[in-house]
Structure formats: structure tokens, C-alpha cells
């Protein structure tokens, strides 16, 4: 069985709209929700980037059933891991146990803003592992003091600690991150239906744990309009994470994608209002072994129409196929 989630994409809508969208997603019957945690949008045309943690607090209070999750937070440069642990614990309390903390090695696009530079990929993975260990130790209660190669923690303690603490997920893209996730995560996160990533996660200790994927879609009764919108706002997604993690600014993504055509995007993103196209786009995730897939509806102003269509048409079709 594959659970179907909804993505609050902070890059394409403001905070009040995002809360409104997740309330509607809960009513429509989505199984869970995730939110991005950005400082910049990928492209200027997306036009937004509110603070994800304020959004999560509001969403926790505005909803009652739907699980919440970061997809994902980088706990190494823009945020200190001790602060991430405090934020996650607070959201878990506000959500009454519905929150999962998704972590990843981050992107230069968002992390450069604090002026600490952008480390090499090897250093980023070292920092992520150290950050995860700090967060896990803080979730255990008591005072934490650490003097590591990347982070200093001086007698930190979470005074409002949920029981249980939020499950911890790690985003993977290669062998090293899969090994880290298998050892230290309660679930794995990936943006591509790559079975080899899941196999590597299981090999390092992840057997039986949830596997969460994400899929961009663009619903519109006018398929050509959907293709235009997907190209305008989501053509960056085809660059791959080795590129996406390094570029520092939306203008960099504009330049890197100037030769990407609408047809290129339409080949990768289901567009229009034929539910069969969306079912077939989810299928590779199900076949790879993902247990959850969060859909990203492209275009902030198109969310309510997508959610209405999902309740009546898309979710029944997906559940018929993958339940």
C-alpha cells in the first residue's frame, strides 16, 4: 500500500495560503503532508519563501488529523542542530504527535544567506551526521554538551520534550547518505523512484522503515496551461541534486534551465486532468518500494482546484491502484 501525501511548497505560496491549503488537503483525505524549508524560491516566478517553522506551528493548530513533516530541513549551516531539535520538539507538542522531522544535507540556495560559505559535499555529510547525533541526544532528555569538529553544544536541554519525540527522516541521494540514513534514521526520504537507494538504505539498517518519496504534478483542465505553468515554475527539477545543491540564487537556476523546453518538463511531470497519467507517474515509486508519496501541485493559485479534483477523482484512482 502507498500512502498519498500533500506538499505545502513554501516557494510558491504565502504563509496564510499554505495553512489554508493544508486544511483543505486534510478535508480532501490526503494521508499526510510535508513542507519544504527554504529561504529562496528556486525560480523568481515561484515568488514566495516564508519561514517553514512558523507555518508548521500554524498548521498544527489549524488541522487535527493530517501528519506534518519537513521535506526537508538542513540542520547544519542556516540552523544549529540544537535549535532544530527545539523547534521539532515544539511542533511535535503542538501537533500532538503528528510531526516527523525530515533532515537533509541542504542546498547552497538556502544556506548561503548566513555567510558561512558552502562546504564540499563530503564535509556536508560529516556535518549532517554530527547534527543528527546531537538532535537524537537532545531528544533523549537531559543536558547535552558536545565539542565536535563542526558543532559546539554547551549544556543544552529541551525543557518541553514530547513523548515520543518526532521520528527522524534523512534524505538520500547516494551511497554515503543511504548508509547514514540506515544507521540513524527512522525513515528515508528521496525525490526519485530509485530502488537502489532504498536497497542501500535497507542494507545499512533501514529494513521495514517507512520510505517517503515526492512527485511534482500539474493539474489543470487545460493541459497546455498546465505544461506552461510547470515549465515556468518547475523546470529546475530536472537538473538533478548534484546541480541543485550547488547553485546559489534563483537567477542561477534561470540561467541553468534556459534551454529546458516545455516538452522536456511535460515528459517528466504529469500535466492535465487525466487521472491515469498521475497514477502512472506514481507507479515507479510503488514498484521501487516507497510506502509514501507526497504530491507537489505546481502553482500556488491552483491548489484549491487541484484539491477539489483530488478528493473527487485522483485520490480514489490512486487508492484503487495502490491499496
Three-class SS string for 119-160? CCHHHHHHHHHHHHHHHHHHHCCCCEEEECCCCEEEEECCCC
Distance CA 203, CA 175 (A): 11
The reply to whether 304 belongs to the active site is no
Distance CA 138, CA 304 (A): 39
Q: Is 82 left (phi over 0), alpha (psi -120 to 50) or beta?
A: alpha
Distance CA 33, CA 28 (A): 12
- CB neighbours (10 Å) of residue 159? 7
Q: Please tell me which residue in 38, 125, 219, 231 is annotated as part of the active site.
A: 38
Q: Please tell me which residue in 26, 107, 111, 126 is annotated as part of the active site.
A: 107
- The residues pairing with 320 across neighbouring beta strands, listed in sequence order, are none
The answer to whether 120 and 102 have CB atoms below 8 angstroms apart is no
Q: Which three cell numbers stand for residue 319?
A: 487508492
- The residues pairing with 219 across neighbouring beta strands, listed in sequence order, are 272
The reply to whether 38 belongs to the active site is yes
Active site residues: 38, 107
Amino acid at each position: 500500500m502507498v500512502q498519498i501525501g500533500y506538499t505545502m511548497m513554501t516557494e510558491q505560496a504565502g504563509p496564510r495560503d499554505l495553512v489554508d491549503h493544508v486544511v483543505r488537503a486534510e478535508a480532501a483525505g490526503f494521508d499526510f503532508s510535508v513542507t519544504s524549508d527554504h529561504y529562496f524560491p528556486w525560480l523568481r516566478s515561484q515568488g514566495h519563501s516564508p519561514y517553514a517553522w512558523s507555518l508548521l506551528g500554524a498548521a498544527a493548530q489549524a488541522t487535527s488529523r493530517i501528519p506534518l513533516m519537513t521535506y526537508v530541513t538542513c540542520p547544519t549551516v542556516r540552523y544549529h542542530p540544537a535549535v532544530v531539535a527545539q523547534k521539532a520538539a515544539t511542533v511535535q507538542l503542538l501537533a500532538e504527535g503528528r510531526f516527523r522531522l525530515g533532515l537533509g544535507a541542504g542546498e547552497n540556495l538556502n544556506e548561503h544567506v548566513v555567510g558561512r560559505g558552502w562546504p564540499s559535499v563530503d564535509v556536508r555529510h560529516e556535518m549532517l551526521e554530527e547534527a543528527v547525533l546531537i538532535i537524537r541526544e537532545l531528544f533523549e532528555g537531559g543536558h547535552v554538551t558536545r565539542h565536535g569538529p563542526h558543532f559546539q553544544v554547551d549544556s543544552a536541554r529541551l525543557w518541553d520534550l514530547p513523548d515520543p519525540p518526532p521520528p527522524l527522516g534523512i534524505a538520500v541521494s547516494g551511497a554515503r547518505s543511504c548508509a547514514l540514513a540506515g544507521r540513524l534514521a527512522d525513515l528515508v526520504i528521496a525525490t526519485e523512484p530509485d530502488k537502489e537507494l532504498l536497497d542501500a538504505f535497507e542494507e545499512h539498517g533501514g529494513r521495514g522503515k517507512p520510505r517517503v518519496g515526492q512527485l511534482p504534478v500539474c493539474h489543470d483542465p487545460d493541459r497546455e496551461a498546465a505544461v506552461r505553468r510547470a515549465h515556468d515554475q518547475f523546470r529546475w527539477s530536472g537538473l538533478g541534486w548534484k546541480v541543485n545543491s550547488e547553485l546559489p540564487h534563483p537567477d542561477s537556476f534561470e540561467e541553468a534551465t534556459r534551454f529546458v523546453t516545455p516538452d522536456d518538463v511535460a515528459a517528466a511531470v504529469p500535466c492535465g486532468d487525466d487521472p491515469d497519467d498521475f497514477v502512472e507517474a506514481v507507479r515507479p515509486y510503488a514498484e521501487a518500494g516507497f510506502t509514501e508519496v507526497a504530491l507537489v501541485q505546481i502553482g500556488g493559485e491552483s491548489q484549491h482546484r487541484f484539491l477539489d479534483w483530488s478528493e473527487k477523482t485522483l485520490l480514489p484512482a490512486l487508492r484503487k491502484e495502490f491499496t
